[in-house]
Amino acid sequence: MKRILPILFVVLFASCAGKKAVTEQTVTPTTQTAKPSTKPTKHVDKEQTEMLRRIANQALTTKNIVASADFRLVGGGKNLSCDGKISMRRDEVIRLQLLLPIIRTEIARIDFTPEYVLLIDRYHKEYIKASYKEVSFLADNGISFYSLQSLFWNELFLPGENHISERLLDRLTCELAQISTDVPVTYKKGNISYRWTASKATANIKAVDVKYSSQQYGTSSLHWTYDNFRTVGGKAFPLTQQFNVTMGSGAKQKSAQLTVKMSSPKTSSDWDAKTEVSAKYKKIEAKDILGKLLSIQ
């Protein structure tokens, strides 16, 4: 159990290189579209523009998502599972909690907020709280709260933008093929490239692939898949998400996989988005975070 938290952190950091009851029936495909834009796109024709709008319009409008979660982590020669919980409040926090089975006591927590990352290890009574700029690995790899939020919320995004509006859709390239049931959406900037795979029928995003090349950290890749779509707040949301991360190459290559299976999703707002750290906990310097995490084998 003590090794689960560090492996989870490695997966999450690498992946960013860059109450109403909710029904759980299978989602019926939707073709709802936004109002036509008066400004033509630069890279795609009318049909492709319409497809991009459909995909963008699948974004959830609810403010909160709270769900129980089963975490399964594979990495460093380990195959581990743990009960947990996910709580997300749009533009405020993404919170992952690891819980002891049966008694459901929290043993670890990670909060991503727009201003900082907070890691709490309740087993060792330690924590790290740092801005994204304070952690060189995060800053160098272009890690943003808003890109991470879009990945968890199953949405399109652009690096450097908090949200993707219709006027920004023309930066994306959409390729339609008559014989294909899926639609690839791509974007490239510098050494980082993004590729979303969306269903042509439902406009739901099924997968995201991100590749990043860094002189300092080598090549890293992320393959993030979505499954088990259910209705949450009136829109389709994937309760099963899997992240496959690979960093470096050759003997120095590190890889990890995290599968998150959510259940009983709610859109309740009766929870505090801010975590207060006990004065009894020891603070770990942010500069030590990468070495601490990657030292776990």
pLDDT for res 177: 80
Residue that is written with structure tokens 């743990």 in the block: 82
Q: Which of 4, 224, 237 is nearest to 121 (CA)?
A: 4
DSSP 290: H
Cα–Cα dist 14/16, whole Å: 5
Is the CB of residue 271 less than 8 Å from the CB of residue 66?
yes
- The mean predicted confidence, pLDDT, of the chain is 81
Q: Tell me the domains of the chain and their CATH numbers.
A: 4-18+34-287 (2.50.20.10)
Residue the block writes with tokens 């560090």? 6
Q: Are 126 and 105 in contact (CB under 8 A)?
A: no
Report the alpha-carbon distance of residue 196 to residue 206 in Å, rounded.
8
With bands split at pLDDT 50, 70 and 90, how would you rate the model's confidence at 138?
low
pTM confidence score: 0.81
DSSP letter for 26, please: B
| Tens of pLDDT, residues 198-238 | 999 999 999 999 888 877 667 788 899 999 999 999 999 99
SS3 content of the chain, % helix, strand, coil (to 5): 20, 40, 40
Say how far apart CA 87 and CA 64 lie, in whole Å. 8
What are the tokens at 157? 């995004």
pLDDT of 79: 84
Is a pLDDT exceeding 70 seen at residue 83? yes
Q: Which residues of 77-103 are buried (b: 16+ CB within 10 A; e: fewer)?
A: eeeeebbbbbbbbbebbbbbbbbeeee
**Which phi-psi region, left, alpha or beta, contains residue 102 (left: φ > 0; alpha: ψ -120 to 50)?**
left
Per-residue pLDDT at 288: 55
Distance between CA 238 and CA 19 in Å, rounded?
A: 20
Q: What's the pLDDT tens digit per position in 266-294?
A: 999 999 999 999 999 999 876 655 444 44
Q: pLDDT tens digits, residue range 97-107?
A: 999 888 889 98
Stretch (H or E) spanning 80: strand 78-89
Instruction: Dig out the tokens for 8 from the structure.
Output: 């989870």
Sign for the CA dihedral angle at 60, 64, 67, 73 comes to positive
Among the ranges 88-92, 165-169, 179-183, which has the highest mean pLDDT value? 88-92
C-alpha separations of 14 from 146, 192, 249 in Å:
15, 13, 14
